[in-house]
Chain A
Amino acid sequence: MTDAGQSELARDAEWQRLDPRMLLVHPIRELLRYLPVIVVVVLGSTAAGGEQWQLIGVGIPVALGLLRYLTTSFRVDAGRIELRRGLLNRHVLSTPVDRVRTVDLTSSPIHRLLGLTKVRIGTGTASTNDEDRIDLDGLPLDRARALRAELLQTSTADDLAVPEAADIDVVTFDPAWLWFAPLTGSGVVIGAAALGALTQLLQTVGFFERFDATQVDVPGTSPVVLVPLLVLGVLLVVSLLSVGGYAVTNWGFRLTRNRAAATWHLTRGLLTTRETTLDDDRVAGVSLSEPLGLRLARGARLSAIVTGLSKSQPGSSALVPPAPRRIVEEVAREVLDTAAPVDAVLLGHGPRAARRRWARALLPALVVAVACVVAVGLGAPSWLLLGVLALPVAALLARDRIGSLGHALVVGHLVSRSGSVVRRRRIIEVDHVIGWNLRATWFQRRSGLTTLVATTAGGSQAVPVLDVPEDEAVRVAQQALPDLLAQFTG
């Protein structure tokens, strides 16, 4: 660390404040946060005729913003990043530079207007407390980028790399991807949540009390026409909202790679833009997931399994938003630097695993179906007979889940696929596997099956291979890490 860190890190060795333009951002943000209070104060004081009260109402948030600016400072010195803040409770955060795993730059519309950005330095801490995050809120964009480049340069092992190498585009946003938005679970959830908020609003203004369904008289329609129309309308609205949500988060999406610095670089966002940089050494693998709707439309999405980044920070590890499967697979090959784990034909888990899938899907469905039939027999309304439909649905689910099951061990990567409603193909580099769990219930043991779990320090912390025959599980684990298991077999 002599030549490379000369410019930015050397400049940052002294305690220094964030960008002075934050003096504009903080008061605006504080004003927005205290808007309800301010409105009350302003209205109250005009009624009372007091001018000073209005001044205090505006002044306090502005003063708070100023105070925050004055009390926050940071430095990068002796291989550590230190962040100091707070007036009464002095808070000093300090972390070694070589622990930096990700650097996120987030710019809200106010930030963008002023050419600023918020730098979030990810160290993989398990703490969920906001106070423990290293956020440098408010640096000029180009300075933030230089800082990022050098922080990650220091944390990667190969310091000999040339930092000035070009970023190569791996994938860029295509507006056609918007079609996939309504097909994902999260898209529907966002849409439904927005719709829920709307109805809540209507409820508070008393829409439903005044609205009387019996008085709605559209000529020439009956409930038979009206109900499907209504359902269609709701679906349409939810879809539109989810497309909107997708566009806001992912517009302008661009994934680039810098081979020399060994980093991945992700930019996206319509209003608030977000730039994430991942250290290639820490990318342990990828997870390609296909929610049912997306799968039917030949789409998928991709996230990285990043060492030190847990599931609670999902935004930092997303690699490709819902997009055509072809593109997603292309990116997966690029990220893994090999095509084999993505294209490999997976080994199925055999008839015993299949029987287990059938049993687990059909038995609960059978209970539901029988309960419904018995209830109708005892005089419950006849529409309950619809419960019998649980059986064919369960059968379809079981068949699909059996088709999904599979695993492979190719060119140093463990590949595992399972699931139906959300089918996932998880690929993890064997070097990043830090242990094996072999889990088997009494039923599984009886049919000679076990769930092999490769534990890892990233993502969901584990890559499960569901219901493999026991000897196959041992074979895979042993082949992956030969020295480890050999001493316990025999």
Chain B
Amino acid sequence: MDATPSLREPSQRVSSRARQMWTLEAVVQAAIPTLGLVALAGPVDAFDLPWWAWLLWAVVLAAYVAVVPSWRYLVHRWEVTDTAVYTQTGWWVRERRIAPMSRIQTVDHVEGAIARLFGLATVTATTASAAGALEISGLDKDVARRLVDDLTVKADAVEGDAT
């Protein structure tokens, strides 16, 4: 073994449609506070913002919508072996989670409203620790289905109550 082993990235990428899903999510996230702000400054007339504040606001949100989904896509990866699950998520904060298959308690398959537009799904494997759930979002729906079946079979094959 190498003297200083380093952890490699998980092998699998999520679906490339995830980038579009995250873009749409980012647009929605950006639109809600903007609408609120416009309503307050316009019809309600609660305050007046100078033009440069609007510009700054627009630039920040545009950058968020343009950059973050791609960044997220570069980070999000996953891998399942016979004995472990390994995920990598986040963008600014990168979080790698590794859990032994013997500690997996439940496997969830969720298709959110936006995810369904793109035929995507999220798979979550929970452990007995509230801090240890492994979530893989932006998976192709069929890949997610197979993953759930795979995880269920593998986790079931191990004895014990997983605590």
Contact = CB atoms under 8 A, between A and B. Distances in A.
Contacts of B130: 310, 461
A478 B98 contact: no
Given A435-B103, A462-B129, A474-B6, A488 B97 contact: no
Interface residues of B, number: 32
Given A445-B94, A483-B83, A484-B100, A490 B131 contact: no
Contacts of A434: 99-100, 103, 127-129, 132, 162-163
B132 A437 contact: yes
Q: Do most interface residues of chain A lie in helix, strand or loop, or is the interface mixed?
A: mixed
Interface residues of A, number: 35
A110 interface: no
Nearest to B10: A488
Contact of A489 (B6, B93, B132): B6
Interface string B94-135: 111111100100000000000000000000000111111010
Contacts of A383: none
A77 to B, nearest CB: 22
A485 B6 contact: no
Interface stretch (A25-33, A68-76, A231-239, A450-458): A450-458
Interface in B64-102: 79, 81, 83-84, 86, 92-100
Nearest to B128: A457
Contacts of A478: 5
Contact of B5 (A437, A439, A484, A490): A490
B8 interface: yes
B93 A441 contact: yes
A440 B7 CA distance: 13
Contacts of B5: 471, 474-475, 478, 485, 489-490
Contacts of B134: 435
A211 interface: no
B86 A488 contact: yes
Contacts of B127: 434-435, 455, 457
Interface string B6-50: 111010000000000000000000000000000000000000000
Contact of B163 (A308, A462, A483, A486): A308
Contacts of A441: 92-94
A438 interface: yes
A8 interface: no
A217 to B, nearest CB: 50
Contact of A439 (B86, B93, B128, B132): B93
B132 A438 contact: no
Contact of A437 (B7, B96, B128): B96
A474 B131 CA distance: 19
20 contacts: A307-B163, A434-B132, A435-B132, A436-B96, A437-B95, A437-B131, A438-B96, A438-B98, A442-B94, A462-B131, A470-B6, A471-B4, A474-B4, A478-B5, A483-B83, A484-B83, A485-B5, A487-B84, A489-B6, A489-B7
Interface of B: 1-2, 4-8, 10, 79, 81, 83-84, 86, 92-100, 103, 127-132, 134, 162-163
6 shortest A-B CB distances, which residue pairs? A455-B132, A457-B128, A435-B99, A455-B129, A462-B131, A489-B5
Interface of A: 307-308, 310, 434-442, 445, 453, 455-457, 460-462, 470-471, 474-475, 477-478, 481, 483-490
